[in-house]
Amino acid sequence: MAEPFDVLTPLVTPFDADGDLNVDGLESLVRHVSAAGVDGIVPCGTTGEFETLSPGEYRTVVRTATETAPEDCRVIVGTAATDVATVHERMAFAEEQGADSTLVVPSYYGGQASGAGNEAFFESILADAPLPVYLYNIPGAVGQELSVETVAALAESDAVAGLKDSSGDLPYVTAVMNQTPEDFTVYQGHDGLFVPSLVLGGDGGVSALSHVLYNELERAGNAVANGDVPEARTVQREVLSPLSEACAEYGFAPTVKALLADRGVIDHAAVRPPRTELPEDAVQTVTARL
């Protein structure tokens, strides 16, 4: 038994030393992760610093990613926005460019919405969704959790393909799996929980570390599939978790960019405010862990 799971890369967005969008760098990055073997890419997500992109840059990133990805590499486009109209506009553009599906977070301004409010927000989006939608639970960035009850209710829609969870809350993931249909896809967005989620029945991960550690993620996933718990545990504890902790400490986009720049995959580790690049001692720490 092998690979009953997916590993997808939430693409960083390469910038040049002046902070401008580096399209050539993005093309190279897509080719790099595709050649490694990832099952899909996710442009314009949290790790992609989507909220720092102008509307024109957003479209350029989506267009470049979809045009560069090979046919066997799925493209799930982040289409987050605080208003339904913009989400629909971004979904329509993603479909036009040939994306496979989209990733949508709850509205991330205005405080903790009620369950009914979040459900209404997503139902408005799903009503005219041109592509399958993955719900995205990332309370640390959005400021609120997408409740298990809301996920379960939305999972009844044919337009909803699954969930990416980046909460770091394993009981939450377990509850979602218990209250949604068997064919509802649950992707782990926290690299530190990749193996535990697979053991519980998860479908894989949208893993920032897959930029540089796809082989190790594949090794861990295959170990779980083959019932080799000691092997899976070793990879999680000794490889994935330490680097995941570094990402949590310094930020996923800055850390991954530092690792990619160190390997020569991208030219610069530049990020946009409010993120900051890793100081040199931190770069040495994370590259040493890698």
9/132 Cα distance (integer angstroms): 18
In a domain, 290, yes or no: no
- Residue in 164, 172, 214, 257 annotated catalytic: 164
Residue 201 lies inside a defined structural domain of this protein: yes
Q: How far is CA 116 from CA 111, 145, 250, in A?
A: 14, 13, 35
Mean pLDDT for each 10-residue chunk of the chain (290 residues)? 82 97 98 98 98 98 98 98 97 98 92 84 96 97 93 97 98 98 97 97 98 98 97 97 93 97 96 96 91
Check 108, 109, 134, 136 and give the catalytic one.
136
**Domain residues for 88?**
6-227
In a domain, 182, yes or no: yes
Which DSSP state fits 43?
T
Give the long-range contacts of residues 148-154, CB within 8 A, separation 24 or more.
148/172, 148/175, 148/176, 148/179, 149/115, 149/179, 150/115, 150/118, 150/119, 150/122, 151/176, 151/179, 151/180, 152/176, 152/179, 152/180, 153/119, 154/119, 154/122, 154/123, 154/126
Residues 125, 246: Cα–Cα separation, whole Å: 35
Give the domain CATH number at 151.
Answer: 3.20.20.70
Is the residue at 46 inside a domain?
yes
Number of domains making up the chain: 1
**In this predicted structure, what is the pLDDT of residue 1?**
37
72, part of any domain: yes
Residue 146 inside a domain? The answer is: yes
Residue 192 has what DSSP assignment? Answer: G
257 is catalytic: no
Closest alpha carbon to 208 in 258, 174, 161: 258
Residue 172 annotated in active site:
no
State if pTM tops 0.75.
yes
Binding-site annotation: residue ranges for pyruvate: 47, 206
